Amino acid sequence: MALYTARSRSLIYHLKSKLASLGAVINQNCWVPHFTDHHPPLSPSRPTHHYLRNPDAIPTNDANPFLSHRFKFTQAGKRLDLIGNSTDDTRVLNFPGGEVKFTPEMKFIPQSSTERIRCYRVLDDNGQPITNRNFVQISEEVAVKMYSDMATLQVMDTIFYEAQRQGRISFYLTTIGEEAINIASAAALHFDDLIFPQYREPGVLLWRGFTLQEFANQCFGNKADYGRGRQMPIHYGSSKHNYITVSSTVAWLLDCSTQLPHAVGAAYALKMDGRDACTVTYFGDGGTSEGDFHAALNFAAVMEAPVIFICRNNGWAISTPVSDQFRSIFPLHVFSSDGIAVRGQAYGVRSIRVDGNDALAMFSAVETARRIAIDEQRPILIEALTYRAGHHSTSDDSTKYRPAEEIEWWRIEQDPVSRFRKWIESNGWWSDEAESKHRTTIRKQLLDAIQVAEKSEKPPITELFADVYDVPPSNLFEQERSLRETMNRHPQDFPSDFPF
């Protein structure tokens, strides 16, 4: 409804502007046809058009069938003065899509730039700043919270993954290797910013105050789960934390980007309402291979929506490598293009490539992107380079399509959590004692939360048919009755804790 209202306002404004311009043109009698005795009204030798911006195209003597009179009290006269000195080499034509200069040289645009887009980085592999400039300074309090949440995310992934392997939950996805993208971006945003996540951003919700018990309730789908057990595990959502629920559609199988157009629409609504906030949407490299990504970028650019697109380019869309998705930044031949960041430029979206394993670089890039998006009312695309150091999900064995040694190297040598820990330790803000205490505490809290979530009641059957209609139609009651009959006839086909 907000998007509809915003588009309506924009359309009304656009129509009023066009009508006003048309009225001015009619009243001023801008173009006056003037024929001589020597030329017919239509001359086939040289067509003329009032959108041509060179002296010969706007004749002012009897050698041409048309005589132009300059606009009165408008910018048109000034524009004609400006083009009075143009030559054939600088002829400009006002196409509906914009002004275009012509050239006699036939030249195809190359498929890629000779210079690759560089990757913004602050910390080296040893956690030391490359330079003391060009990054946003953060306080000790923020830095310690960032690291503690990154460590919490690691522990949470390990325990929930093991719980799925034990058959206690049905499904799970980890964020191993991508903790910096989660936490650093969340730290750089404001609470009023709307988050449109994919399925690998639980750290953003963790930063905003979602408790370990709430995570456990969702994964177990119990009565306390905000989704009432209707979602897959790790498909979190919280209106309280401005975190839009993760959606599993058909496109999700290909690394979903279905939430991108919604994020742009919400950002446009924020803009129309004059809100000091933006929307942020996360997606993987596989999502950029879907149409929703391109539609969203174009939509955002044209409508100048304050939205930040954060792409986690971790190299894999489940088992599909980036080399099979697009001309990647890892060239195998001379015809490679430049990954995802360059796509923003094609749509008129300001873009940056960032080391996604560098928490300080991610924080600086997102904090700056937010300021630009809101102050200048424009979209921003961030390509965060990283590596998915875990399996795609508990339904996947990534060693079937990539070397185990490669996974291990990235997991150990390029671990974003270890890199950031080295930096805060060098500042005297963290220690081995604090590390041991924190991880032990979080592990105990998670195990307790799992026990509580596991023992909690499941939602009643009626919840399957709720939260859609204010007044449920008769066909939903019929579906509920049919389900109950099926359950009673075949109780052996349902889990023992199923709420009959």
Residue closest to 253 by CA, chosen among 293, 291, 287: 287
Q: Which amino acid is located at 263 in the chain?
A: A
> 132, 354 in Cβ contact below 8 A?
no
Q: How far is CA 399 from CA 176, 389, 390, in A?
A: 15, 11, 10
Report the distance separating Cα 399 and Cα 390, nearest Å. Answer: 10
Report the distance separating Cα 73 and Cα 499, nearest Å. Answer: 77
Packing angle of the helix pair 140-165, 359-375 (nearest 10 deg):
110
Residue closest to 423 by CA, chosen among 152, 157, 118, 184: 184
98 forms beta bridges with 95
Tokens of residue 465, six digits: 């048919």
State which H helix or E strand residue 321 sits in.
strand 320-321
> 389, 407 in Cβ contact below 8 A?
yes
Report the distance separating Cα 217 and Cα 215, nearest Å. Answer: 6
What's 392's DSSP letter? Answer: S
> 415, 177 in Cβ contact below 8 A?
yes
Contacts of 67 (CB under 8 A, 6+ apart): 32, 33, 34, 59, 60, 61
Residue 96 backbone dihedrals phi, psi, to 5 degrees: -55, -25
Report the distance separating Cα 413 and Cα 486, nearest Å. Answer: 53
Unique residue bearing structure tokens 């946003």? 136
Report the distance separating Cα 195 and Cα 275, nearest Å. Answer: 15
- Residue ranges with strand state E in 75-165: 92-95, 98-101, 119-120
320 forms beta bridges with 317
Total Cβ atoms within 10 A of residue 196 = 27
DSSP conformation letters of 173-213: ---TT-HHHHHHHHHHS-TTSEEE--SS-HHHHHHTT--HH
Would you name the residues annotated as active-site residues? 162, 248, 392-393
